[in-house]
A and B are shown apart, each in its own frame.
Chain A
Amino acid sequence: MSLECGVFHTRYEADMGLRPRPVQRIRLGVFALFVLLFPFVAGPYWLNLANQVAIATVGAIGLNLLVGSTGQISLGHGAFMAIGAYTSGLLTLHLGVPWGASIFAAALVTAAVGAFFGLPSLRLKGLYLAIATLAAQEIVEWGMTNWTAVTGGAEAIVVPAPVLFGVRLNSDFAFYWIAVLTAGGAALFAANLLRSRVGRAFEAVRDQDIAASVIGVDVFRTKLLAFATSSFLAGLAGAMIAFHRNIITWERFTLSTSILFLAMIIVGGLGSIRGSFLGAALITLLPAMIDNLGRSIQDTAPQIAAVLPYAQQAVFGIVIILFLIFEPRGLSRLWGNVKDYFHVWPFAYRRGESGAR
């Protein structure tokens, strides 16, 4: 866990604490209040976006545990989400499993599948592992479209809307609570995982796997565990998509989905839970915001609005490149800098520079 500027811990409890300082708790409280009030003031469009952000956050946290914390690249995240979506959808549709149970079961199944596809990580690293996970993506994609008996092939599968206490949760407003609770739970889980023995093992494997094995970390087991944990969250996100949309189509889980999730964690900040959320929000909202910009200038500047759809993908790419150049540690780091600045304000005090101007 990185040290924050100007923070001193005198007790181990505080050192291990997730949010030891009052100001952190206040910030969390303000954010929680915002999350609680948001659905009552936002229209359906913004609720829809918020749900997409919440679901993407769950998936991004999962991928970040694998890529950011354990250093294992995966191009198969979309495929793992697909497995979650299809498993939960089919369980509920054919076996009548309640939605909560089927979401959990789907996450477990995805964890198992993810661990299986993580097997090549025993021998492969970096680019080679990326290609192996790319194969996982292709295999699952092929399975989705061609295993007609189970997945319905290219046809969509209709999933019944979740029901809670006799109420059908088919609106974005109702689903918001499920999505936010799940995203919050995933964040809490990941934050606690990272400060546990397992989490330290993840980071040890990422930083230097040989050194990790020397100090007693079972590298292969740790990698598989990272794949399983990451896929568990991917499956959770996929299952949520199934119940949010009530319809599963394979087109939602293609390679471009996998790459989008990688973009989220890179822009957000590798190895950071806050970064997973910020990246998920940015990558989900950016196209929507460019759309809105385009529509708002449709009347005043139709020429610009007409080319904006074409510029959109370029803008997307430029944002990622700018982040890689100017802040490789992502949005999370930007936010961290802001916090640090205000934390020590008005002194920009630095060791070794005291008084000497």
Chain B
Amino acid sequence: MTRKTADGTGSGSRRIAGVLARTALAAGVFGWVGCGGGDPEPGDGAIKVGAIFDLTGPTADVGTDYADGVRGFADWINRQGGIEGRPIDLLYQDYGYQVDRAEQLYTRFVGEGAVIFMGWGTGDTEALRLRIAEDEIPFSSASLSHRLGDPGEAPYNFLLATTYSDQFRIALEWIAANHGEGTPVVALMHNASPFGLSPARQGGVEFAEARGLDLTLYEMPRGAVDYTAEFSRIRQSGAQYVVFQNTSGPAAVALSNARSLGLEVTFFCLNWCSNAQVVLLAGDAAEGLMGTMPYAPLSVDVPGTRVIREYLESTDGSAAGKTNAYTQGWWTFAAFAEGMRRVLAAGGELTGANIRAALETFTDHDMGGVTVPVTFTPTDHRGSKGLRIFRVEGGTWVPFTDFVQAPAP
């Protein structure tokens, strides 16, 4: 018997080169594993803040502006000399709306010394909820799921805008008050996710019943480019109102779709599709669209938008094309920065527990007029309970009502 080799082509030296070259691909990838993961740097006074953004995932349409808003605020406050003289070191990364990567990045940034965390989606915030509580990291998610504002369930989560179910109730209340004769029939078209179901599942259905509204839920499948089937069912149901709980992309597709089908109903957008993007994408079809918009777009002139416009003009960026998601990212971070400022001003140490306690002292904290003043208490982390309903007129969002409080569930 002779020695056998696995494959039998090529000369000896070429074979070595080939094996090594192909191995290099694998080794290069695994080589990274060995290094990295360094210890937190010794304190240079910078306050580390962790953040995950969706720049590439299914909610990137609004996530990008939100991310820019958060980064913009960090840059702005560092130019102002930081928080009580200490600059912010924002540790951030795109996570593509994937729960696993959110967990990896959370672990990584907290390991690097982040004292607070700016989260994003409903799924990942839910998945991190217990870890956040154990690590004592004050956490802001752009997810406005109602129960994340309950300190009993999520002691370190803070909501900086009206929850989805409050927004939905505000919309339903407006419908009930302005409908006139007959039973108002409402269709909720929602994203196929916890985010999409949140307004209905967390009190919306009960509220609609109590106010005598006929509410039906319609799921918007991910990536759909046509909603004819859903709209024909909506037409048959005789709905006069359609509420979207989705991001601006799918909502714009649905609006154009409804227009081409000749559906004559009043459309409402909750938080994540009430923005300039939906108008840009849907064009004329967005005319008359109503939106529960907790954060004002930059076109509304209040101190809170003026500071952003000035910042954007002072850098090379321009305010044009920035949506209200930018305002939301900026002012959400700003509220947390104020909490940290209060800790430092009182001579305290920047621990999660101290920042949480400082945030819980917020009473009608002014948010520059972009949203209602924020109040946190040890038993309630739903910071704001009111908003303005906006309406698309002539291609821009204009305030349609004054600030309205969410009706009690």
Contact (Cβ within 8 A) B8 A245: no
A48 and B127 contact, Cβ closer than 8 Å, known pairs A251-B99, A309-B56, A335-B26: no
A251 and B194 contact, Cβ closer than 8 Å, known pairs A45-B37, A312-B56, A348-B12: yes
Q: Within 8 Å CB of B93, what residues of A?
A: 291, 294-295, 309
Considering the complex, give the chain A residue whose CB is closest to the CB of B35.
A292
Contact (Cβ within 8 A) B29 A247: no
How many chain-A residues does the 8 Å CB contact rule pick out?
63
CB distance from A283 to the nearest CB of B (A): 11
Q: Within 8 Å CB of B108, what residues of A?
A: 45
A336 and B6 contact, Cβ closer than 8 Å, known pairs A295-B93, A309-B55, A312-B56: yes
Contact (Cβ within 8 A) A49 B6: no
Contact (Cβ within 8 A) A349 B37: no
Tell which of A2-10, A77-85, A186-194 binds the partner.
Answer: A2-10
Q: B101 at interface (Cβ–Cβ under 8 A)? A: yes
Contact (Cβ within 8 A) A45 B56: no
CB distance from B52 to the nearest CB of A (A): 10
Q: Within 8 Å CB of B16, what residues of A?
A: 341, 348
What is the bound-complex CA distance between A5 and B130, given in angstroms?
A: 52
Which of B96, B107, B126 interacts with A312 by CB under 8 Å? Answer: B96
What is the bound-complex CA distance between A308 and B148, given in angstroms?
A: 32
Contact (Cβ within 8 A) A322 B25: yes
Q: A222 at interface (Cβ–Cβ under 8 A)? A: no
Tell which of A63-71, A154-162, A198-206 binds the partner.
Answer: A154-162
Q: A43 at interface (Cβ–Cβ under 8 A)? A: yes
Q: Within 8 Å CB of A341, what residues of B?
A: 15-16, 19
Q: A249 at interface (Cβ–Cβ under 8 A)? A: yes
Contact (Cβ within 8 A) A351 B55: no
What is the bound-complex CA distance between A294 and B23, given in angstroms?
A: 24
CB distance from B78 to the nearest CB of A (A): 14
A247 and B127 contact, Cβ closer than 8 Å, known pairs A145-B192, A348-B15: yes
Which of A170, A172, A291, A334 interacts with B105 by CB under 8 Å? Answer: A291
What is the bound-complex CA distance between A225 and B226, given in angstroms?
A: 41
Interface residues of A in 308-342 (CB under 8 A from B): 309-310, 312-313, 322, 326-327, 331, 334-338, 340-341
How many chain-B residues does the 8 Å CB contact rule pick out?
51
Contact (Cβ within 8 A) B201 A6: no
Which of B29, B101, B126 interacts with A156 by CB under 8 Å? Answer: B126
Provide the B1-43 mask, 1 if CB < 8 A to any CB of A, else 0: 1111110100010011001001101100110110011010000
What is the bound-complex CA distance between A170 and B129, given in angstroms?
A: 14
Q: Within 8 Å CB of A32, what residues of B?
A: none
Contact (Cβ within 8 A) A42 B37: yes
What is the bound-complex CA distance between A339 and B338, given in angstroms?
A: 59
CB distance from A292 to the nearest CB of B (A): 6
Q: B395 at interface (Cβ–Cβ under 8 A)? A: no
Q: B393 at interface (Cβ–Cβ under 8 A)? A: no
CB distance from B1 to the nearest CB of A (A): 6
Considering the complex, give the chain A residue whose CB is closest to the CB of B33.
A285
Contact (Cβ within 8 A) B32 A45: no
Q: Within 8 Å CB of A297, what residues of B?
A: none
CB distance from A125 to the nearest CB of B (A): 29
What is the bound-complex CA distance between A288 and B126, given in angstroms?
A: 21
Which of A42, A245, A292, A337 interacts with B6 by CB under 8 Å? Answer: A337
What is the bound-complex CA distance between A251 and B12, given in angstroms?
A: 50
Provide the A223-258 mask, 1 if CB < 8 A to any CB of B, else 0: 000000000000000000000011101011000000
Q: B166 at interface (Cβ–Cβ under 8 A)? A: no
CB distance from B61 to the nearest CB of A (A): 14
Q: Within 8 Å CB of B56, what residues of A?
A: 309-310, 312-313
A289 and B37 contact, Cβ closer than 8 Å, known pairs A154-B197, A313-B56, A338-B19: no
What is the bound-complex CA distance between A247 and B96, given in angstroms?
A: 20
Q: B266 at interface (Cβ–Cβ under 8 A)? A: no
CB distance from B215 to the nearest CB of A (A): 16
What is the bound-complex CA distance between A322 and B103, given in angstroms?
A: 29
Contact (Cβ within 8 A) B99 A252: yes
27 A-B pairs (CB sep. < 8 Å): A3-B4, A4-B6, A6-B5, A45-B37, A48-B103, A52-B100, A145-B197, A155-B201, A156-B127, A172-B107, A246-B130, A251-B123, A251-B194, A289-B33, A291-B104, A295-B93, A309-B94, A312-B94, A313-B96, A326-B22, A331-B26, A334-B22, A337-B23, A348-B5, A348-B16, A351-B5, A353-B8
> Given contacts A43-B39, A249-B127, A327-B22, could you give 8 more A-B pairs where the C-beta distance is less than 8 Å?
A5-B5, A154-B194, A155-B194, A245-B127, A247-B130, A287-B101, A288-B104, A309-B94
